[in-house]
Amino acid sequence: MVVVDAAGGGGRQDEESRRLGFALTVPAQMLVLFIAAFPLLMQAYISLTDWSPLDGIGWWRAWELWNGFANYSDLATDNRFWGALGRTIIVMAICVPAEFLLGFGLAILFTGNFVGRRFFYSVLLMPMMVVPAVAGYMFFMLFQSGGPVNDILSAIIGSPVQIAWLSDPDLALFAVIASDIWQWTPLMFLILLAGLLGVPEDQLKAATLLGASWWQRFVTIVLPRMKTIIVIALAIRVIENFKVFDTFYIMTGGGPGVATETISIFIYKVTTQELVWGYVAAIGLTILIVLSVVAGVAIKYMSAQRREA
């Protein structure tokens, strides 16, 4: 058996064998394309109809209930949808920056050495490993009126506190945001720590020797070098946060009223309770397009970075 060091040469294959290789993978690529594209096409198709599983006809016959772009125009005027979207964006606008700043702060802390670093490192990563549904249940318990959060507040203030966190429309959103930050700051921390450790130490030393202060080093060396990874971390969290469902649903079921109803919960309810699948398909597709734009911008940015580097 002969194996060779990748560094040993160009590693490029013959043009001919590359073409053959491509030909051989065509069936597999078609399959992948089909798997990826089929549900999308199906969704697009249904979104243009009034089809519901209760109609008693198969989805492929949905054209009988064709309604053109009615679902999309309904969506445009659906206040519950816009409310859910607005809430989702508020949650995102608070959670993602909070997770980013907290995660970055912690990551910077963890680039240094301190007693118990390994221990705290493990502790810090734990929330991420908790099943979101379980996390939802934990926070549900924490924020009960007789729950630990109130107990702690009582102890601090000295008089009994009885805040109804989850049934007060204003506070419920705060509670779910807290749960999200708790669960996902560790992911930010982990990604950003990896990024920080990737900043060449020599460059930091060189900057110090050239007279740069901590903050100057951070702004001129660390941030520029972490651009790509910051964009990745933010994109992951924006997309994930947009889709958040299980934790919130278990904590509040989207309530009280619609106070914590995010897009995912909204879709879930419309799907399971109202069974208007054509409408749901339209919502789903709209959101997919929005998220694709976010991801697209991030990817474009990153490839531009790579070309520069």
Partner 1 sequence: MADITFRNVTKRYGETIAVRNTSFTIENNEFFCFFGPPLSGKSTILRLILGLETPDEGEILIGGQPVNGVSPAARNVAMVFQKLALFPHMTARDNVRFPLVERKQPEAQIVARVAEVAEKLHIGHILHKPPAQLSGGERQRVAIARALVRDPAAYLMDDPISALDARLREETRVELKRIQRELGKTLIYVTHDQEEAMSIADRMAILEEGAVSQVGTPVEIYDGPANEYVARLLGSPMMNIVPALLDASRNSFEAAGGAIRLPAGVVPEETSNLGIRPENLKVAPWTDRGEGQPVTVFEVEPLGGHTVVTLEAGGQMLKALMRGQPQIAADSLVALTCSPEQMHFFGTSGETLAR
Partner 2 sequence: MTAIHLEGLVKRFGDFTALRAMDLEIRDGEFMALLGPSGCGKSTTMNMIAGMEAPTQGRILFDDRDMASVPMGQRGVGFVFQNYAIFTHMTVRQNLAYGLKMRGMPRAEIDKRVGAVAELLQLTSLLDRPSAKLSVNILQRLAIGRSAIIEPAIFLLDEPLSNVDAAFRAVMRTELRHLQHAFRQTMVYVTHDQLEAMTMADRIAVMDHGVLQQVGTPLEVYNNPANVFVARFIGSPGMNLLKGRLADSDRGPVVDLGQLGATPPLPDALAAAARTAGAEEVFYCFRPEEISIAREGRGLAMPVTFVERIGARTIVHLGEGEETAKAVFDNDVGLSAGETAVISANEETVRLFDAASGQAIGSA
Binding to partner 1 by CB under 8 A, coded x per residue (else -) over 128-167, reads ----------------------------------------
Residues 15-34 binding partner 1 (CB under 8 A) are: 15
The residue with tokens 């109803």 is 261
Q: Which of 107, 168, 175 is nearest to 136 (CA)?
A: 175
Residue 16 CB, nearest approach to partner 1 (Å): 10
Name which of 15 and 308 has its Cβ closer to partner 1.
15
Contact 164, 171 (CB under 8 A): yes
Region 203-222 residues binding partner 2, contact defined as CB under 8 A: 203, 205-213, 216, 220-221
Query: Is 238 a residue that touches partner 2 (CB under 8 A)?
Result: no
Per-residue contact flags (x/-) with partner 2 for residues 19 to 38, judged by CB under 8 A: --------------------
Rule CB under 8 A: say whether 6 interacts with partner 1.
no
The one of partner 1, partner 2, none whose footprint includes residue 14, by CB under 5 to 8 A per kind, is partner 1
DSSP letters, the chain, are: -----GGGS--PPPHHHHHHHHHHHHHHHHHHHHHHHHHHHHHHHHHTB---GGGSS-GGGGGGGB-TTHHHHHHHT-HHHHHHHHHHHHHHHHHHHHHHHHHHHHHHHHHS--TTHHHHHHHHHHHHHS-HHHHHHHHHHHTSTTSHHHHHHHHHHSS-----TTTSHHHHHHHHHHHHHHHHHHHHHHHHHHHHHTS-HHHHHHHHHTT--HHHHIIIIIHHHHHHHHHHHHHHHHHHHHT--HHHHHHHTT-STTTT--HHHHHHHIIIII--HHHHHHHHHHHHHHHHHHHHHHHHHHHHHHHH-
Nearer to partner 2 (CB atom), residue 172 or residue 221: 221
Using CB under 8 A, pick the residue from 1, 28, 209, 289 that binds partner 1: 1
Instruction: Give the shortest CB-212-to-partner 2 separation in angstroms.
Output: 4
- Does position 14 bind partner 1 by CB under 8 A? yes
Under the binding rule (CB under 8 A), the answer on residue 68 touching partner 1 is no
- Shortest Cβ 18–partner 1 spacing (Å): 11
Give yes or no for residue 111 binding partner 2 (CB under 8 A). Answer: no
Nearest-approach distance from CB 184 to partner 2, in angstroms: 29
3 contacts partner 1 (rule: CB under 8 A): yes
153 binds partner 2 (CB under 8 A): no
Residue 115 in the binding site for partner 1 (CB under 8 A): no
For partner 1, the binding residues (CB under 8 A) are: 1-5, 8-10, 12, 14-15
